[in-house]
Homo-oligomer: A and B are copies of this chain.
Amino acid sequence: MFLYKIDNDLSLKLIDLTDTAKVFELTNQSRGYLREWLPWLDSTTMIQDTQNFISGCLKGYSENRNLTTVILYNGEIVGTAGFNQMNWSNKTAQIGYWLSEAYQGKGIMTRVAKALTDYAFRELKLNKVEIRAAAENNKSRAIPERLGFMNEGCIRQAEWLYDHFVDHIVYGMLAHEWNH
């Protein structure tokens, strides 16, 4: 497998269509949990929806616009992570991620976000990495904060989440600030 090894129990693998069934199953298992902060649960009800998502990721990857991976924990797929957007003119990328409910609390997401930030600066030679989190999603906000990202602002009512708007905190890390 084509892996980006993070440490002994964690790796990232570029997502492809052979991951469809597993990613859809994971979505179903954590549906209620994920739905609190992610907007795509209600439009992901059939395996075909996950397949369309992965096809979209692959098309974006082939055009160098994004990069999506599955997170492997001891060889098991436990979530996805990657760069939702890569802007080569401005040398910025935005990290997105989600993790199955059953694998919370192991520091997985922080290690993944750290590895992706490393990858953005060292391999892709980008200048800036952003992570956006809903203002009241403390778990998600803790990740960039733990990694030393700067809180650059609060974009009000940035996202519609089924029945209400949520504010987004934008966290940013510049290449010259990153010393991991």
Contacts and interface: CB of A to CB of B under 8 A. Distances in A.
Nearest to A157: B128
Contacts of A1: 4, 119, 123
A93 interface: no
B17 A64 contact: yes
A39 to B, nearest CB: 7
A125 to B, nearest CB: 8
A102 interface: no
A127 interface: yes
A41 interface: no
Interface string A52-94: 0001001101111000010000000000000000000111100
A151 to B, nearest CB: 8
A128 B158 contact: yes
A114 interface: no
A145 interface: no
A18 interface: yes
Interface stretch (A8-16, A21-29, A103-111, A136-144): A8-16
Contact of A3 (B4, B64, B130): B4
28 contacts: A1-B119, A2-B12, A2-B14, A2-B69, A3-B3, A18-B124, A39-B89, A58-B61, A58-B62, A58-B63, A61-B62, A89-B160, A90-B159, A90-B160, A91-B160, A92-B157, A127-B157, A127-B160, A128-B157, A130-B155, A152-B153, A152-B155, A153-B153, A153-B154, A153-B170, A155-B170, A155-B172, A156-B172
